[in-house]
Structure 1
Amino acid sequence: MSAPPSSGKPILRFPDQPQYSGFMKPCRLEGDVSDLEVHGEIPADIDGTFYRIMPDPQFPPFIENDAWFNGDGSISAFKIKDGQVSFKQRHVRTEKFIREKEARKALVGKYRNKYTDAVELKIRTTANTNIVHFNGKLLALKEDAPPYSLDPETLETHGLYTFDGQLPSLTFTAHPVFDPKSGEMICFGYEAKGDGTPDICYYRIAPDGKFLEVVWLISPVVAMIHDFAVTDNWVVFPLIPQLCDIERMKQGGEHWQWSPETPLYIGVIPRHGAKPTDVKWFRYKNSFPSHTANAYEDASGNIMFDLGLSDTNVFFWWPDAQGNAPEPSSIHTQLTRFTIDPKSTDLELTSVEVLQNNNSEFYRVDDRFATQPYRHCYFDLMDPALGTDFSAIGPQLGGGYPLYNALGHVDLSTRETEVYFPGSTHMVQEPVFIPRRGSTKEGDGYVLALVNNCVTMTSELHLLDTNDFTKAQAVILLPVRLRPGLHGNWVDSEDTVPRAAGTSH
């Protein structure tokens, strides 16, 4: 059990562990840089901001072998206009961040385990997993608490955001789905009544922030639900077989533990007018559901649910009860499609198809086609055959973060894949799609991703045109290194004003 520090002395250095070394070394940076250096040319029609967030601990932890994503939420904003890029970096002022800043040391213990803390907090979150724009606000998200609201221009933290008191659950997903037709934000919270509770709360929110529907469900196991999917008529919840045990937490153990005996449960409920008894828990063999690409309904009313799937524990830092965990380089996640008949009484899933067989993750689509039939998917992939010089950059990679050395694009109608390889000493982070201004064609636009340069130990933005995916249209250089992050989103300048209910993007 990791106990809070007994003395008042702060810990002044980060542990000598992989998750705090190389590119994973904490940045602890706040600042602004205007007119970043651009190699190539940024098309004039790109006008907006790329927001992304990373876990970046303010202070060294007092617990042993802290998880790499247990850091404070730190937001990057890259504003692109007239071919130029400005950069802003700020931490989210959570209760944890403020209390620790005042104490000048870490006060919070293990990942999502309040029983290991040095102090008691009302809201314990680090707000470090995703950053979305909604109704004129930025929302910093982590799935253990309500969002924190921030100013989209200054990144100033306004405070905890409960939608004017409407939020019914204690938790809020890090992966809300935005309906491109209605503008609704479809959300949920798991462990919605507190740590270790099986409650899931599903809700729909109008573009103006008004809650439209709330449905409470009971999960078959207390499992992680990191991402989910939405179609016109259905909502799909994949349960990762990482299980919570409140008694284990009270003994100082981890919030999550891999359960090789637990199947992959996929819950399905009607999107509109659902009752708690409407949920169906479909089952598939023990496996790890990764991030969702998209979901939609075919002509027969089946749900086509596309996501990353691995047959082993991707979160290897949380092993099973016997301490078993896969060797990280052996983990292989593939873009996979489940075909689910939501009206079926047979809950065993057998219709499973691999759509793209590379080791891949962080799937993104043209968000104008979210919840609808779609053709194009963009993602990170790891292919050692591309020529990455692992012997040279190995000491700089750090640990605890899944590594990807290229960006991929798969055309789901032809199953052909294009690959962008940024170079033998570079690693990529999650991409985002930027529509070409004036075009309504799916996939017509640009892909933007933060890239780690392991020689200069600085970060770069690589911009690709989808018409010529295999080479960079522009490379934007940062004078700093940004720690690998989790998620981000593109916000066009036209979409920064609050929206009225019923209007489209």
Structure 2
Amino acid sequence: MTSFPRPQVPFEAPMRVEADISGLEVVQGEVPEHLDGTYYRVVCDRAWPSYVPGDLFFNEDGMAMSFCFAKGRVDFRSRYVRTPRFEAERAAGRSLFGAYRNPYTDDPSVAGVNRTVANTNVFYHGGKLYACKEDSPPLLLDPVTLDTIGLYDFEGALTARTSTAHPKTDPVTGEMVFFSFQAKGEVTPDIAYYEADPAGTVIHEAWLRAPYTSMVHDFCVTQNFVIFPIIPLRAEDEWLRRGESHYKWDPDEDVYLGVVPRKGSGDEVRWFRGSNRFASHILGASDDGRRIHIETPVGRDNFFPFFPWVDDTPYDPVTARAFLSRWTIDMGAPGETFTEHRLVDVAGEFPRMDDRRETLPHEWGVMALNHVPGDDAPGSGFRWIAGLDLTSGRAPQIFYAGDDCSVGEPVFVPGSPDAPEGHGYVFVVVGRHQQMRSDLVILDAQRVDGPPVATVALPFRIRRGLHGNWVSGAELRTRTA
């Protein structure tokens, strides 16, 4: 019999697998029996070959996933988010939508169809599970089955055309604070700011315009302020019409931080300005009534190699490294500047905090790393997890996933509802590239550099993901949709 060699499949190749697995294998340690809840995450997983060559993975279909914990057992489920785009392509049996955030490149048959792929975050509020990408209103999912319920505009209260994938929940009031950028359509500079009560009903809306159109991927919320970072990943309609990238890095443009009082109006925005630099995800923010403190990874240059420079400067992985830093805005001082102080000497992204301290002063954090001192390996993949003490100045605790492995975004899970800040677990999905499969690794949040509490094995690989969240069993029992 003639045998044919199987082509080597890259670890990040599309999976296209919707799965149900009862009782994942625990290959190391023990899953804490008191963990009761579900870890939701979403990955980018293209259902059909791209309509245009060389498209971004950011433009791939969203695959929602759940790890359900009960009495030491972990069950897994994955389902495509049935967006209008997904359903249109499924009916046609091929891809129809063009380049990332560029409707000019679509098949004419889908003109006017919502283009979102809902592949950026899955979060829970007011008894509802949301899947979201920042180019559209969110979609609701069934928290148990992950079946798609449909697009959701907050009962008509979302007047903007988009909604962030990074809402913040105020632990004091239970309100969800969120926003929209490019809120009147692609490449518009408009931002809409919303707050929803604990039940998910919108109770506040305000509109403002940014100094220029940019990717406002994340934002900051404190007890007294909301802050919108305007970073020079700019967008222009003429680029889209020419079939170019939606975003380009402009090294000559400044950074702006737009500060609005909580439940304030757009007319109250105060803009603070700083020199060119990169930042994206926010670890946390707080204020003392006058000074606002923001922790975010900051780089000297564009972090994303797939978004080109306006002047065709080549990507530099060294200047692109981002280091967790603290920005401080003094609302009581004259002028329009803010200060920056680097907190760590390890580079990375995907910072997370104990979400119970969102909007409040906080001392603990965690993030994925793509460079540590002494590492000279090529590439910029995320291979480490760092546990961070934000007040003592102690060196980060570092977990190394292993040779030829990758890590996703770490997520904090409280050890109990009343556990002190940062006491509990860190969940991280680890890609075992040689074995072509993934593990869910559970770390002790106070000893991130110690042996894992447990390693839960999947029999296949999970593609790179963006974001996810832990939802307790008590919260899930309040579901309304």
TM-score, L = length of structure 2: 0.94
Structure 1 unpaired stretches of 5+: 1-15, 395-401, 501-505
Alpha-carbon deviations, 1:238-268, whole Å to 9, x = none? 1121111112212222211111111111111
1:480 and 2:460 aligned: yes
Alpha-carbon deviations, 1:259-313, whole Å to 9, x = none? 11111111111012x1222111111111111210000013x62001111111100
Separation in structure 1 between the aligned mates of residue 202 and residue 373 of structure 2, nearest angstrom: 49
2:357 corresponds to which residue?
Answer: 369
Aligned-partner SS, 1:306: strand
Task: Return the match for 2:271 from 257, 261, 281.
Answer: 281
* Kept after mapping to 1: 8 A contact 2:325/2:340: yes
More displaced stretch, 247-256 vs 484-493: 247-256
1:222 and 2:223 aligned: no
Aligned-partner SS, 1:328: coil
Task: Return the match for 1:251 from 230, 242, 249.
Answer: 242
Separation in structure 2 between the aligned mates of residue 275 and residue 237 of structure 1, nearest angstrom: 14
Aligned-partner SS, 2:183: coil
Task: Return the match for 1:357 from 345, 355, 369.
Answer: 345
Aligned-partner SS, 1:447: strand
Q: Which gives a bigger RCO, structure 1 or 2 (Cα 8 Å, sep 6+)?
A: 1
Alpha-carbon deviations, 1:349-399, whole Å to 9, x = none? 2x21011121111111111111101110111112366879x69xx8xxxxx
Aligned-partner SS, 1:102: helix
One-letter identity of the residue aligned with 1:446: Y
* Kept after mapping to 2: 8 A contact 1:23/1:484: no
How far has the Cα of 1:192 moved from its partner? Answer: 0.6
Separation in structure 2 between the aligned mates of residue 188 and residue 380 of structure 1, nearest angstrom: 25
1:432-443 to 2 correspondences below 5 Å: 432-443=411-422
* Kept after mapping to 2: 8 A contact 1:268/1:342: no
One-letter identity of the residue aligned with 1:292: I
1:162 corresponds to which residue?
Answer: 153
2:381 corresponds to which residue?
Answer: 403
Residues 21 and 271 from structure 1, CA distance in 2 versus in 1: closer, same or farther, beyond 3 angstroms?
farther
1:178-189 to 2 correspondences below 5 Å: 178-189=169-180
Separation in structure 2 between the aligned mates of residue 427 and residue 180 of structure 1, nearest angstrom: 32
Separation in structure 2 between the aligned mates of residue 177 and residue 260 of structure 1, nearest angstrom: 30
Aligned-partner SS, 1:248: helix
TM-score, L = length of structure 1: 0.89
More displaced stretch, 415-424 vs 473-482: 415-424
Residues 319 and 125 from structure 1, CA distance in 2 versus in 1: closer, same or farther, beyond 3 angstroms?
same
2:312 corresponds to which residue?
Answer: 323
Separation in structure 2 between the aligned mates of residue 375 and residue 495 of structure 1, nearest angstrom: 25
One-letter identity of the residue aligned with 2:255: L
Task: Return the match for 1:314 from 303, 306, 311.
Answer: 303
Separation in structure 1 between the aligned mates of residue 180 and residue 235 of structure 2, nearest angstrom: 15
* Kept after mapping to 2: 8 A contact 1:208/1:498: no
* Kept after mapping to 2: 8 A contact 1:309/1:333: yes
Task: Return the match for 2:58 from 69, 82, 87.
Answer: 69
1:196 corresponds to which residue?
Answer: 187
Cα RMSD of the aligned pairs, angstroms, is 1.9
Aligned-partner SS, 1:187: strand
1:397 corresponds to which residue?
Answer: none
1:5-84 to 2 correspondences below 5 Å: 22-38=10-26, 39-84=28-73
1:177 and 2:168 aligned: yes
Q: How many residues align?
A: 469
Task: Return the match for 1:382 from 366, 370, 381.
Answer: 370
* Kept after mapping to 2: 8 A contact 1:173/1:189: yes
Structure 2 unpaired stretches of 5+: 1-6
Aligned-partner SS, 1:292: coil
Separation in structure 1 between the aligned mates of residue 85 and residue 255 of structure 2, nearest angstrom: 33
Aligned-partner SS, 2:276: coil
1:428 and 2:418 aligned: no
Separation in structure 1 between the aligned mates of residue 390 and residue 454 of structure 2, nearest angstrom: 27
Aligned-partner SS, 2:356: helix
* Kept after mapping to 2: 8 A contact 1:95/1:121: no
How far has the Cα of 1:438 moved from its partner? Answer: 4.8
* Kept after mapping to 1: 8 A contact 2:220/2:282: yes
One-letter identity of the residue aligned with 2:276: N
Separation in structure 2 between the aligned mates of residue 21 and residue 212 of structure 1, nearest angstrom: 49
How far has the Cα of 1:227 moved from its partner? Answer: 0.3
One-letter identity of the residue aligned with 1:217: L
